[in-house]
């Protein structure tokens, strides 16, 4: 079925009046010219693209780089049989040294020139492998070197009873804070006498009393009588006991 509709034309007069009504409701105090980009704004602080892209905040102060020079530090570790060290814990329960055995230890530390008592070592060795052809053992060692008021150095790495090794310096405290590098462990008489050469980075210059000329390592080396007796002039400040 077809539907018939009738459309009435809109009066041009009414349309003009409608447009004038809209204009009165949305009038602006100042004309807006879009083609000339003359757009008025009531913002008290005009926004500019220059301020958006180039108004940078204050730059952070530059970080002082860590010292990178290598400093050598020499010390002797001596077992004088007066600290009940080492203690061997046979967790493997086997007659020969085997994986799992633990060896806690602590020994005395002397300066490289053997003129000053500087502190102690303290740590733990974990037996990794018995090496019969070398008549020795391989350990993983985790221990610290204590230097009284100066702080301490922490190391970790291989400890072989039959040859020299290098361990990593993993950090420190006091004057050694931020230290890194490595230390050479020289076995003189296992486990009684050891000589260490630290190659340290990342720290300020070491104090002179820790840097005496080292005595060449040999089975006959001994600390001075004054250092062994811990006389005041032969120790560092509050040396670790």
Average of per-residue pLDDT across 46-63:
59
Q: Is 223 within 8 Å of 117 (Cβ atoms)?
A: yes
- 132 within domain boundaries: yes
- 158 within domain boundaries: yes
Q: What is the CATH number of the domain that holds 91?
A: 2.40.480.10
Give per-residue pLDDT as tens, 93-126: 999 999 999 999 999 999 999 999 999 999 999 9
Identify the domain containing residue 95 by its residue range.
71-234
State the total domains in the chain: 1
pLDDT of residue 104: 99
- 148 within domain boundaries: yes
- 30 within domain boundaries: no
pLDDT of residue 1: 44
Which range among 13-17, 54-58, 99-103, 154-158 shows the weakest confidence by mean pLDDT?
13-17
Give per-residue pLDDT as tens, 173-225: 999 999 999 999 999 999 999 999 999 999 999 999 999 999 999 999 999 99
> Which residues have C-beta within 8 Å of that of residue 187, sequence separation ≥ 6?
160, 161, 162, 163, 164, 194
- 95 within domain boundaries: yes
pLDDT of residue 65: 72
- 26 within domain boundaries: no
DSSP string, 105-123: EEEEEEETTSS-EEEEEEE
d(CA 126, CA 66): 33
- 37 within domain boundaries: no
- 48 within domain boundaries: no
**CA distances, 107 to each of 11, 48, 84 (Å):** 111, 71, 9
């Amino acid at each position: 079925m077809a539907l018939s509709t009738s459309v009435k034309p809109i009066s041009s007069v009414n349309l003009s009046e409608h447009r004038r009504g809209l204009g009165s409701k949305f009038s602006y105090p100042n004309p807006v010219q879009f083609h000339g980009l003359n757009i008025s704004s009531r913002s008290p602080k005009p926004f500019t693209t220059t301020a958006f892209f180039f108004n940078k905040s204050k730059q952070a102060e530059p970080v002082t780089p860590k010292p990178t020079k290598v400093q050598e530090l020499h010390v002797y570790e001596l077992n004088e049989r007066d600290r009940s060290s080492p203690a061997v814990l046979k967790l493997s329960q086997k007659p020969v040294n085997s994986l799992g055995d633990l060896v806690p230890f602590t020994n005395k530390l002397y300066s490289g020139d053997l003129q000053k008592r500087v502190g102690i070592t303290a740590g733990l060795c974990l037996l990794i492998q018995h090496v019969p052809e070398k008549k020795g053992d391989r350990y993983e060692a985790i221990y610290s070197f204590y230097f009284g008021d100066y702080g301490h150095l922490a190391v970790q790495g291989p400890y072989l009873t039959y040859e020299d090794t290098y361990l990593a310096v993993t950090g420190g405290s006091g004057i050694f804070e931020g230290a890194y590098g490595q230390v050479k462990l020289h076995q003189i008489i296992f486990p009684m006498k050891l000589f260490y050469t630290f190659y340290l980075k990342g720290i300020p210059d070491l104090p002179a009393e820790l840097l005496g000329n080292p005595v060449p390592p040999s089975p006959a080396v001994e600390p001075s009588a004054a250092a062994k007796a811990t006389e005041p002039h032969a120790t560092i400040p509050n040396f670790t006991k």
